[in-house]
Amino acid sequence: MTHSFKLSRRIARLRVPALAAIIVLAGCNSTDSVSPDNSLPLTTGDSPTAAPTAPIADPSFSTSFAGGIPIGTFEQPTTTFGSRYNGAKENIAPSSLVSALSAIRSRGGKVVLMFAGSERYYKDASGHFSLTKWKERVNRYRNVNFSSYVSDGTVIGHYMIDEPHDPYNWSGEPVSPSTLEEMAKYSKSIWPNMPTVVREAPHYLATWSGTYHYLDAAWAQYLSRMGNPSDYIRYNVSEAQKKGLALIVGLNFMKGGNPNGTTMNATEVENFGSALLSSSYPCAFISYQYNSTYLSNTGIKSAMDVLRRKAENRSTRTCRGS
């Protein structure tokens, strides 16, 4: 899927202190095009404008995971896994999955994997979510044997869907929490030991009166318009705990600065990220999105080094729900 952040059309109606409302609506913007700076082969058809990428080569040395919780970005090149980043969300073609995971593991990395790809592949003729089509997309990975990477923690979760709450994504019909649980059940029927993840704020998931037996983790992506980051993480942890869900957190580098919609500066990255990492609850810190120019800025690199040390000094947590 495109993983773009839907911010501009929501600015007027999202304001603190209506924290519950803002957290639910913290997501993608379909008007922002995404061109991942990515060394991993994308699933066929998921990025029609992406240029062919070179084969992934294993480094000449092997590095184990440094400890704590993984930290990184969306669609991160394999070559960037190392001293600063050791986590990512990736969309890798079935034919390339095992070799890519091998390279990531050898660099001490951990990843959340998306199998379904762009949402356009699992919508019906009316633009609504189709569980049948989603299953077909996931089924492409059935015969790929990557179980060892799940067992050793290289794969920390299955990223099933992005922003199911937003009616804009699904022609006016959000994907219900009960459907998300059904998706997670299907994933577990194939890969019983792989945690299931949705990029959705815990508040929306907590609106369901049912119990999550198969869905493991929610996702809280922070932007400055969501108010105080310390309040934000406390609220999201509380909502996740209500439903027995693990929690992945991160920042929106490209649209999450102050004033609203601007790129985060180095001070914001360090301060906002430090607030999120003040909680011992999150199982990973993965931010949107990888951008080589932005992340090569000296100030941003220094800020991310601070956050890497904080993430590494945290107790390791699984992204499996309780």
The CA–CA distances, whole Å, from 290 to 88, 104, 172, 233, 322 equal 9, 16, 30, 23, 31
Among 12, 34, 90, 28, smallest CA distance to 223 is for 28
Whether 220 has a pLDDT exceeding 50, the answer reads yes
170-188: pLDDT as tens digits: 999 999 999 999 999 999 9
139-148 mean pLDDT = 98
Give the pTM. Answer: 0.84
* pLDDT tens string 13-60: 333 334 444 444 444 443 333 333 333 444 434 433 233 333 333 333
Name beta bridge partners: 220. Answer: 249
Euclidean distance between CA atoms 231 and 216, whole angstroms: 23
What is the per-residue pLDDT for 12? 35
305: Cβ–Cβ under 8 A, 6 or more apart, which residues? 84
pLDDT value of position 65? 96
Distance separating alpha carbons of residues 139 and 184, to the nearest angstrom:
13
**pLDDT (0 to 100) of residue 18:** 41
pLDDT exceeds cutoff 60 at 10: no
Q: Does 89 or 27 have the greater pLDDT score?
A: 89
Q: Average pLDDT of 270-297? A: 98
Q: In the predicted model, is pLDDT for residue 268 greater than 70?
A: yes
Separation of alpha carbons 149 and 192, rounded Å: 13
Low-confidence winner among 4-8, 190-194, 283-287 (lowest mean pLDDT)? 4-8
End-to-end CA separation in angstroms for the chain: 29
DSSP conformation class of 262: S
> Three-class SS of residue 197?
strand
Closest CA to 201 of 185, 182, 219: 219
284-320 per-position pLDDT tens digit: 999 999 999 999 999 999 999 999 999 999 999 999 9
Q: What is the mean pLDDT of residues 124-146?
A: 98
Instruction: Give the dihedral of Cα atoms 189, 64, 67, 191; nearest 10 deg.
Output: 0
Q: How confident is the model at residue 322 (pLDDT cuts 50, 70, 90)?
A: confident
Among 44, 1, 36, 34, which Cα is nearest to 166's?
A: 1
